[in-house]
Amino acid sequence: GAVVSQHPSWVICKSGTSVKIECRSLDFQATTMFWYRQFPKQSLMLMATSNEGSKATYEQGVEKDKFLINHASLTLSTLTVTSAHPEDSSFYICSAKSGRSSYNEQFFGPGTRLTVL
C-alpha cells in the first residue's frame, strides 16, 4: 500500500514551452502533497506544499507564477513548469502525506526527470 506515481517519468521539451507533471496517490487519499526538486549531487529541496482544494504554499525563492500547482482531488496534484528554460532542468519528485501512519509519513513518487533544451 501507499503507492505514489508520477507521470511522465522523463520529459524533454524546448525552451519556452510548458510542461505538466502529474502526481497520484494510488491507494490512499492524500490531503497534502509536496513537490521537491533535486539537482545532481544535491539534496531534495522543497518547492511547495499542496493542499487539496486550496492554494499551494511556496517556499522562499520559488516563483509561484512559474511553477503552477493544482491539487484538485485527494489523489491528484499537478505541477506545471511554465515557459521552461534550461536552468529548470532537474529531477522533480512529489510526495503524498498519508494519515494512516502513526507518524504521518510522506510517501514519495519515483520522480520526473525534466530536460529543457
Partner 1 sequence: QKEVEQDPGPLSVPEGAIVSLNCTYSNSAFQYFMWYRQYSRKGPELLMYTYSSGNKEDGRFTAQVDKSSKYISLFIRDSQPSDSATYLCAMSASGGGNKLTFGTGTQLKVEL
Catalog residues that contact partner 1 under the rule CB under 8 A.
4, 6, 32, 34, 41-46, 49, 93, 95, 97-98, 101, 103-111, 113
Report, in Å, the least distance between residue 79 CB and partner 1: 14
Report, in Å, the least distance between residue 59 CB and partner 1: 8
Nearest to partner 1 of 33, 81 (CB atom): 33
CA 17, CA 54: separation in Å to the nearest integer?
26
76-81 β-sheet, strand order: 4-7, 19-25, 76-81, 67-73
Contact 46, 61 (CB under 8 A): no
Report, in Å, the least distance between residue 116 CB and partner 1: 18
Query: What secondary structure, in 3-state letters, does 1-37 show?
Result: CCCEEEECCEEEECCCCCEEEEEEECCCCCCEEEEEE
Report, in Å, the least distance between residue 112 CB and partner 1: 10
The position carrying cell 517519468 is 9
Q: What residue type is assigned to position 42 of the chain?
A: Q
